[in-house]
């Protein structure tokens, strides 16, 4: 995943990251442009499932994309 600097749009490098929950990462990034030098924290979140897991973890809830949900329901109806 490429994260761009919000100021100069150059690439950033990941200094460190933390995973406070199964669906959230905190990424500490630093701009590679020495004339900019920005550093900051990004949040990367699993927001929507496009297809459900075949091995879902207990307690992890990621909403299913409405379009994917509709297609899955149609497949179930057509299969019966």
Residue 38 to residues 9, 16, 17, 25, 65, Cα–Cα distance (Å) = 11, 15, 17, 20, 35
Max CA pair span of the chain = 63
- Under a CB-based contact definition with an 8 Å cutoff, are residues 79 and 63 in contact? no
Q: What is the C-alpha separation between 41 and 28, in angstroms, rounded?
A: 4
Strands of the sheet containing 12-21, edge to edge, are 12-21, 24-31, 39-45
Tens digit of pLDDT for each residue in 18-66?
A: 999 999 999 999 999 999 999 999 999 999 998 888 899 999 999 988 8
Q: What pLDDT does residue 75 have?
A: 67
């Amino acid at each position: 995943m490429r994260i761009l600097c919000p100021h100069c749009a150059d690439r950033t490098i990941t200094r460190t990251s933390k995973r406070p929950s199964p669906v959230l990462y905190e990424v500490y990034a630093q701009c590679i442009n020495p004339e900019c030098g920005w550093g900051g924290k990004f949040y990367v979140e699993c927001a929507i499932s496009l297809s459900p897991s075949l091995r879902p973890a207990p307690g992890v809830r990621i909403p299913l994309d409405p379009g994917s949900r509709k297609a899955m329901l149609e497949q179930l109806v057509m299969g019966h």
